[in-house]
Structure formats: C-alpha cells, structure tokens
Structure 1
C-alpha cells in the first residue's frame, strides 16, 4: 500500500519534520530500508545503520537530528511501539479474499450472510449459521451449525468453528485455529488411579485395569468482541455451560484453553500457554510463553504469569508469578539465588563437592 509520509503522520498522530510528500510503500529496519521504506530508527543505536540503507524518511527518537542522519524527513512519536502497531496496520493489506461468495463455497440454504461479506474457495457454512456484515472468510474454513459470528470478522484459511459457537464483532482467527471441539473429559466406572493418588498424596493402593468413558460436551463457546486467536490454537467447548473468552483477549499460536474456562477481558496469552478445565481467570491477566494453570483454579485481575510458569493454586489479583510451582516473582528470585549458593555452601561445609556424603537410595 503506497501512502505519503504526511498521510502516515496523521494516522500515527506523529509530529512530521521535513518533506511530507515523500511516497512510502513499506517499513524496514534502517540497514535494509529502500527509498520508499519508512526506516524504524526509534533509538540512536538503530540509527547507526541508516547509512547501510537508502531510506529518505524514518521514525526517530525525540531529539534525533534527521538532517545530520542524511534524511529528507522524519516522524517523532511519544510511544514507538504503539506507533509501530498503527503503522503496520496501515501498511498491511491483509489476506486476499475476493468480495462475494466463491462458487466452490458450500453454504446451507438456512444460513444468513451479512452485507459485504467475502467468502473464499471451498468454505463450508452449516445449517442456521449467521455471519455478520463485512466478514472475510478464507479458503477451506468450516463453520458448524447454529453458530453466530459478528461483524467485520476475519477468518484466515482452514479455521474450524464447530456447532453452536457465539463470536462477537471484529474477531480474527489465524490458520488452523479450532473453536468448539469437545473438551477432554473422561470418567472411570470406579475410582480411578488419579483420584486415589490425589486423595492419598501419591498412594494408589490396589492397581486394577480401568477403562475411560467420555463425558460429552453439551456447552458451547462464547467469544466477545475484538478477540484474536493464533495459529493452531484450540478452545474447547464447555461440558454443560459454555467456555467463555472476554472482550479484547489476544491469544497466540498453539494455545490450549480447556472446557469450562472463563477468561476475562483484555487478557494476553503467549504461545504454548494453556489453561486446564474450569479455571476462571480475571481481567487483564498475562500468560507468558509456555505458562500454564491447573484445573479448577481462580486467578484474579491484573495477574502476570511469567514464561514457563506453572500455576497450581489460586492467585490473588495483582500478583506477578514465576516458577514451578508458581510463587511471587520476588520470592522465586530469592529461592533461585539460594539454590545457586548451594555448591559454595557445600564446599564450605565439606571441603569438596566430591566429599558430600551419599544419602543412598530413596525409600
């Protein structure tokens, strides 16, 4: 998409200095920028590579001297990463989905398709589906019966939405996302080994052969407005009540959200994080990459869970958690420092690590 630097300045709410008529068709790192790229040099260290490229304009830090850097113009913004968000949105054309309904799409006669929707090749839309105005649905996407999808949604290719799902406006799902598959719920005719281990803290007692019977998922999935779901992420339907995802949540690739989970507003879940069944999460909670929470927990508002952390108990609002099992970040850091001191403490106590007595086999 080709724009002038002045147009971009208006979109970003940036201060423009220099030639606002410069054509801009892309964004690039300073050393790779061409003459129609806007170089992203928001720190002095980044600007050192401007001479390796041929950019005429850049986003600079406040106080940067664009003339001394050999530029014809510059933009200045108070919050560079926020400016980058608006810039990339302005320059991203999005997936190419031809307006209208592709002739290979299979759409049930009872489905309602909103005005201006674009439905790509080999899309399947089931019985009683309602799709809002301005929706864009990529190739080979499947939407199950009795599902409702709001306005201005974007479903990238090969998204799978099962039956009786409710999705709000401006929803985005990336390729391979699956919403509304059955939850992972099974039961044994008698008390299972897992139940016995939980009750006795590890003693199973008599071990017997057991088989598993599925508990079917009768609930659906309810997703609010302005939610984004990443590649190959799965959100399971509820057992009796719906799994719920609040407005404004952003969920990365390869995330698992299990049956009956409630995720509050404006939560962020990074890649390979996960929530086990029936856990309730408050508003504005952040899960780092690979973090997870056990089942049937309550996590309060504004909690931050760092990468690879495992939450095994309830977390009050406002906590920052780290480690396995999760503890307060400051406590985890102190525990880690103590662990690193152990070799020195052992040397001081026994004179040599090799001289530490062998405790022998565990019971």
Structure 2
C-alpha cells in the first residue's frame, strides 16, 4: 500500500508540513527510517525529541505538535495532536492483516447446513460445524474450528489456530488472536457431601475433620455471548456458562492469556490485560481496566470505571470509579501508604530494639 503525505494527513485528521506529494509506503522506528529516495519511503514515528534525535536527514516523520521538522532536516512531517491516537490510525492504514486468500479453500471442512456470508474468506483446514453462521466479509484463518450453532458477525478476523466451541454468539468486527479458546466448559465440580472448600469458607479455616471426597462434574449448558468490536488475545480462554451465557460487552479488549470463568459478565469498553483471571460468576462493569496479573475472586461485583493496578487481588466488591492496588485490593492511596510503612519497618525495629535495651538497663539499675 502507498499513500501520499497529504492523503495520509487527511485520513488521520492531522496537519502536515513539507512535500505533500511524497509517497508513504509503511512505518518504521526513527533509527530504521532511511532518507526518502525516488519520492517514496517509510515514515518514522518520532513523537518526542528523544526519538526524533535518531531521524535521518531527508526522511519523513510523524511528530508531536510543537516539534520543528526543519531542526531534523525532514522533507515532510505529519503533526499529531494526540500521538498515540494518530499512531492507531497510521498502523491501521498499513496493516495488511492475516494472509487469508479470498474464497473458501478446498481443504476446509464445512457442514452443509452452515451459512457463509458474502465475501467471507476461509483458509486451509478450517472446520465449521452444523448450523454455524459466518457474517459477510469475515476472514477465518487456517486450522480454526467453529462448533455447531455458533454465529460470527460481519468483518470478523479469526487468526490461525483459534478454537470457537458450539453455541458462541459474537457480534461484528470480532478479532480473535491465535490459540484463543472460546466456549470451553467451565471449571465446575461438586462433592456429594460438604467439600473441604465449603467447610473452610464456613469456618474461615478451621478443619473439623478431613475426609476423602470425590468430585462430580457440573456440565456447562450455557454459551458465550460477545458484543461488537471485541478483541480476544492469543491463548486467552473464555468458559461457557453453566446455565446462562458468559458475556463480554461491546468494545472490550482482552489481552493474551486472560481467563474468564463460567457465568462471568464483562461490561462494555473494558481493558483486561495479560494474565488477568476472573473466577466464575463475577460481574465487571463498563470501562473497567484490570492491569496485568489482576485476579478476581468468584461471585465478585466490580463497578463501572474501576481501575485495578498490576497484580492486584480482588476478593470483595469494588464500588464504581475506585482505583485499587495490592493484595488484598485497597484504595491505591492506601496501598501507597502501606508500602511506605513497610519500607520503614527495618528502621522502626532498630529503634524499638534500642528502646528495649534502654528500658532493660533502667530496670536493672532500679
């Protein structure tokens, strides 16, 4: 793909400077961006003076407002009022997406009752079950499997090796990265008698007697419901519900290696970062951000607009709008004070030891 500086600036709703007819063929980091030759070349993403220092004279760059392209000897520049937002548009413009040829590959196994939308592309060795619906313009990568009765919306991109089980309902523009698994059975088991887990929940840790126990599977009859514009990262897993569906709201982005348990409900426009784990039947509101390695216990409710810092462990309800951190989760400002107090402990213990020695000497003299 190639686009002129002027056309790219218009597409990004940004201001340009310099030779507007230069052709941009792709994006690169400043140190890897050569000078423009023959009227075309790469554009560097150099949105701070620190990065712009590595620019080659005669190149093209994406700069932040207030930076001077003449200082760096550029031939053309685009100014970004909000650099990362412009970067989103720039990378989208040059991303070719997965290499999936148009049409249906002859090695794909598609049940005769499945319905494939107009313009959909199905790669080699895809398996599509009975009653599946694939929306128009969807692209399904190699070795993907989609179970019976599932529905995938328009313009979806399912990368190679993803697994979508039966009864999964997904909206338009779904993106599923390689190895993700959607709709596997929930981790739900019961014992004929009170289990050790139930006992310690009741007694808060006291064991009245340890007995042999056998786990019996609770089958998962619910499905998974996913809204529009959802992204699911590589090797993420979303379990199906026990009776009702596990749900993910529109606009939510789920990172690699995230686990959502059975019956979990995630709201709209949430951001769940790598290694987040949400246990069964918890409910997460809209616009919630869970940073990397956050853990959410089962049957917990997290309100709208909550932000949880990295490695936070949430065991109780979190009200809307709160910022939490730590294990167990507390308000971020409280956690900061706790950390300060912990760092002071060695000095406090030294002072206490000296105080004890002084008191002991006084008592001996007395």
Question: Smaller-chain TM-score range?
Answer: over 0.9
For 2:204 and 2:58, how far apart are their aligned partners in 1? Answer: 64
Aligned to 2:91: 88
Please say if residues 146 and 165 of structure 2, whose CA atoms lie closer than 8 Å, have aligned partners that are also in contact: yes
Aligned to 1:313: 316
Please say if residues 33 and 55 of structure 1, whose CA atoms lie closer than 8 Å, have aligned partners that are also in contact: no
What stretches of structure 1 move > 2 A for 4+ residues in a row? none
Correspondences of 1:222-301 after superposition (within 5 Å)? 222-301=225-304
Correspondences of 1:1-363 after superposition (within 5 Å)? 1-35=1-35, 36-50=41-55, 53=56, 56-351=59-354
Q: Which runs of 5+ in 2 are unaligned?
A: 36-40, 357-366
For 1:40 and 1:104, how far apart are their aligned partners in 2? Answer: 41
Q: Which runs of 5+ in 1 are unaligned?
A: 354-363
Please say if residues 227 and 248 of structure 2, whose CA atoms lie closer than 8 Å, have aligned partners that are also in contact: yes
For 1:118 and 1:209, how far apart are their aligned partners in 2? Answer: 53
1:325 Cα offset (Å): 0.3
User: C-alpha root-mean-square deviation of aligned residues, in Å?
Assistant: 1.5
* Secondary structure, counterpart of 1:345 in structure 2: helix
Residues paired across the two proteins, number: 353
For 1:32 and 1:259, how far apart are their aligned partners in 2? Answer: 46
1:144 Cα offset (Å): 0.1
For 1:193 and 1:63, how far apart are their aligned partners in 2? Answer: 64
- 1:295-353 deviation digits (Å, cap 9, x = unpaired): 00110000001110000000000000000000000000001111111111111111399
1:54 Cα offset (Å): 5.7
* Secondary structure, counterpart of 1:60 in structure 2: strand
TM-score (norm 1): 0.95
TM-score (norm 2): 0.94
* Secondary structure, counterpart of 1:351 in structure 2: helix
Q: Which moved more, 1:229-238 or 1:4-13?
A: 4-13
Aligned to 1:360: none
* Secondary structure, counterpart of 1:217 in structure 2: coil
